[in-house]
Amino acid sequence: MECAGQDRPQINANASYNRHDNATQLSVIESDTVVVNGVSTPLNSRNVDITTHARGGAAEASFTYLQPIIDFTVFPATVWGLCRK
């Protein structure tokens, strides 16, 4: 006689991590200005490269515990020697 209820509990674990990285480059003209008689005059103009980085990530984890249904008829059968090991 094969007895039911001999399944074992199980624990499953899962994890994941998602990372992103975004770089944006922008070229601008930067200059100093001088105001003479109410007139703004640019001096020392130069090109400037600006790079902006955005980094981030998301993590997720899960645990699952599976408990089989307990069959109470197994215990008397085990005591009486009706179950095979």
CB 69 within 8 A of CB 32: no
| pLDDT band of 62, cuts 50, 70, 90 | very high
Separation of alpha carbons 85 and 73, rounded Å: 15
Residue 6 CA: distances (Å) to CA of 24, 66, 72, 77, 84: 59, 14, 11, 13, 11
Q: In the prediction, which pLDDT does 38 show?
A: 84
Rounded to two decimals, the pTM is 0.40
Range from 20-29, 48-57, 61-70 carrying the lowest mean pLDDT: 61-70
